[in-house]
Amino acid sequence: MTFIYNKITGNKPKDYGVCHGDEVAMLLRIEKLVNVPKSPHSSDYIFSKDMVKLWVDFAKDPASMTFRGLGFLKQEPEKPLQYLELCENPRMMDEPFKERVDSLKSLGLIELRLAAVGGGK
């Protein structure tokens, strides 16, 4: 719906970054659906190869992984959550959604829902 609205009005869609499933084109070749053309100088092709290497390395040994030379370790439960930002210049970053999650939790919707479910029994 948003795509059609943007086409009609000429609005440019806001770039929210990548979302769930966007990595599929970088990892799998599915003809006529998703694939990255095999062009040795294409930044998408190079990135795709790096992502496939990351997944293979994870399958071999999840304790020691690197992406484009940046090593990262498995998340320790007692340490603050960190993400590996997969981009041209990867970096480790602190969990970017904590503030939003805390704000949503402060609304008490989880407790309200639990009370509603528990109260119906």
Asked if residue 102 is part of any domain, the answer here is yes
| Terminal CA-CA length for the chain | 39
Looking at residue 101, what is its pLDDT? 84
What does pTM read for this prediction?
A: 0.64
Eight-class DSSP state of 110: H
Does 112 reside within a domain? yes
Number of domains in the chain: 1
Look at residue 7 and tell me if it is in a domain.
Answer: no
Domain that holds residue 61: 18-119
Give per-residue pLDDT as tens, 52-96.
Answer: 999 998 899 887 788 999 988 888 888 888 888 888 899 998 888
Contact predicate 83/62, CB 8 Å? no
Report whether pLDDT(108) > 60: yes
Q: What would the pLDDT profile of 2-22 be if each residue is shown by its tens digit?
A: 666 667 787 776 666 667 777
Has residue 120 got a pLDDT over 50?
Answer: no
